[in-house]
Structures are given as structure tokens and as C-alpha cells.
């Protein structure tokens, strides 16, 4: 196949996107596919790029965060007649990127969610139960995440963007990948520092990732079914990764959905796929195949 990979971008997750894109390109090239890598900046569609995207069998979106993942790029592609891109459609991408809206959506479908409130710039600190976790409403890769043990920790903090403030859940953290309507094996995330922040995600050896997660089969199956329920409630397609954290009693709560999850060497969706017997080249080729099918229909 001829595949164009859009990667890089200008979001806070640019470095991760560059790594994802290059790794996807290398895997597909080794399988004999014709690959074009393009460092995409939102609104930067030249006529040559448009023609390349239209001609290609699939457009692989290796962008993370910002306009590349929040539905704006997806809407621009469709406006230009390009539907054979990987991942979810514009509206589902926009919904999943807004953590508060995503939580409300999956909660309505019966998925347990952590209690939380949105803190807008310029507003006083909302009533919170401490310890609390604060994170940008539309960010990813744990960029800007704050763990506040008490109100004093936030005394001098003034948000520059909307922040989702949630009650801290002290239990285990899990993630479930979904690929073509199938839930992949559950991954348990065990950061060595105790906090799954940006450094823990992308520093080799900083986090122990257990797949399949050491949990009873019935519990793993229940979490997989919950992930599928959230995936469907959000209207996602092709693939995604859904994150959960447990309270003190071990009950899992939905945190967020990643519609264009990382494809780096430490990323969790490729790990889960490999555990399910899907090596990385086969994973990215299957994702491309789902996109390519939309060009043929």
C-alpha cells in the first residue's frame, strides 16, 4: 500500500508524536509498503500534500493532542474529501479529547467515573476533596498533571487553561486497548515513582507495565467489557486506549479515552497487542487496513 503518515504537529505532545510516526513508518517500510512522512502543522495542507493524501491508500494519523487529535484535523480531512484516515471521526475525536464531556458521556452509559469539577481560568479554586488530581481538560500524555495533597499546594496556582480536578484514587491503574471492536489484554501500570506522569510514561524503565495484568480472569473480562462500553458510548472507531484507576476497594473508574494512542517503544497499546499475538507491524497494518477500507466504500 501507499501510506502517508502525518506526525509531529505543534502540541505539547510533539516529541511523542515524532517518535510514534517514525516507528510506524519503519515498521511499514520493512513490510514493503510505500511510506511518506509529513510533519503536519494544522492548516498546512498544500496542494501537493492534498493530492498525496487523496492518492494514498491510507493516511495514518500519528499525531497526539491538539488539533491532530481533537477532531479539527479529522474535520479538515473530510472537508477536503479524505475519509481514509486512521482513527475516529471528527465528532467522536472532539468528544473524547474533552475529558469532562467524555466522562459525562460514558457515565450516562453506565460506566463508573471519578468525581470531578472543571476549574476555569480566572475563577477561584472550586471546592475539592484532597488529595486531588488536576489535569488540562484537553491535554494528553499527563502533560501539566498536578497532584495536590492539600489546598496549600494550589495557593499560588492559577490555571492558564481549563483544568479537570478529580478526587485522587489510590488504587491500581489499568489501561485497555480496543482494536476493531475487540478488547485487548488489560495492562496494569506501576510507575516506580508512584506517579504516572510524562517522565514515567516515556522514560525507559521508569514504569513497570504488566500485561496481562495480574488480576482474576473475571475481573479482567469485566474491565474489558467496561472499556468496550465506553468505546461505543463515545462513538469511537478502529482503535483507541481507555484508562482506568481504582479506588481503595479496587473498583475501577474511567479516566479518559485516547483516540490516537502512542506508538512508541514504551506505549501501551502496542504492548497489549503483542500480548494478544499481534506484533507491531501487523498492528499498524491492521489500523491502516481499516482506514483503507473507507476509501473503497
Supply the pLDDT for residue 235: 98
For residue 280, count other CB atoms closer than 10 A to its CB. Answer: 18
Judged on CB neighbours under 10 Å (0-12, 13-18, 19+), 15 is middle
pTM, two decimal places: 0.91
Q: In terms of Cα–Cα distance, which of 171, 175, 162 is closest to 116?
A: 162
**pLDDT < 70 stretches in the chain:** 43-44, 139-143, 193-206, 296-297
Supply the pLDDT for residue 199: 54
Whether 182 is catalytic is no
Whether 258 is catalytic is yes
163-204 pLDDT tens trace:
999 989 999 999 999 999 999 999 999 977 555 555 555 556
Whether 286 is catalytic is no
Among 141, 173, 177, 239, the one annotated catalytic: 141
100-126 pLDDT tens trace:
999 999 999 999 998 889 999 999 999
Whether 202 is catalytic is yes
Whether 166 is catalytic is no
Supply the pLDDT for residue 45: 77
Amino acid at each position: 500500500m501507499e501510506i502517508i503518515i502525518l506526525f509531529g504537529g505543534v502540541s505539547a505532545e510533539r516529541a511523542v508524536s515524532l517518535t510514534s510516526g517514525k516507528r510506524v513508518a519503519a515498521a511499514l517500510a520493512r513490510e514493503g509498503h510505500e511510506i511518506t512522512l509529513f510533519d503536519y502543522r494544522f492548516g498546512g495542507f498544500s496542494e501537493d500534500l492534498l493530492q498525496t493524501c487523496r492518492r494514498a491508500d491510507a493516511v495514518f494519523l500519528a499525531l497526539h493532542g491538539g488539533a491532530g487529535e481533537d477532531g479539527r484535523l479529522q474535520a479538515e480531512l473530510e472537508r477536503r474529501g479524505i475519509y481514509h484516515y486512521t482513527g475516529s471521526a471528527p465528532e467522536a475525536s472532539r468528544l473524547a479529547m474533552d475529558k469532562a464531556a467524555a466522562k459525562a458521556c460514558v457515565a450516562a452509559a453506565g460506566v463508573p467515573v471519578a468525581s470531578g469539577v472543571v476549574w476555569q481560568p480566572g475563577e477561584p479554586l472550586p471546592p475539592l476533596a484532597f488529595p486531588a488530581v488536576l489535569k488540562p481538560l484537553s491535554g494528553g500524555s499527563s502533560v501539566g498533571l498536578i497532584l495536590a495533597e492539600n489546598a496549600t499546594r494550589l495557593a499560588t496556582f492559577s490555571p492558564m487553561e481549563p483544568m479537570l480536578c478529580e478526587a485522587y484514587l489510590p488504587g491500581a491503574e489499568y489501561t485497555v486497548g480496543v482494536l476493531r471492536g475487540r478488547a485487548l489484554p488489560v495492562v496494569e501500570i506501576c510507575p516506580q515513582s508512584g506517579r504516572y506522569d510524562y517522565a514515567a510514561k516515556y522514560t525507559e524503565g521508569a514504569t513497570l507495565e504488566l500485561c496481562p495484568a495480574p488480576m482474576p480472569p473475571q475481573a479482567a473480562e469485566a474491565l474489558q467489557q467496561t472499556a468496550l462500553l465506553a468505546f461505543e458510548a463515545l462513538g469511537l472507531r478502529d482503535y483507541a486506549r481507555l484508562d482506568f484507576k481504582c479506588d481503595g476497594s479496587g473498583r475501577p473508574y474511567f479516566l479518559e479515552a485516547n483516540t490516537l494512542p502512542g506508538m512508541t517503544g514504551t506505549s501501551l497499546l502496542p504492548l497489549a497487542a503483542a500480548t494478544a499475538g499481534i506484533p507491531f507491524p501487523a498492528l499498524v497494518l491492521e489500523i491502516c487496513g481499516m482506514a483503507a477500507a473507507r476509501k473503497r466504500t
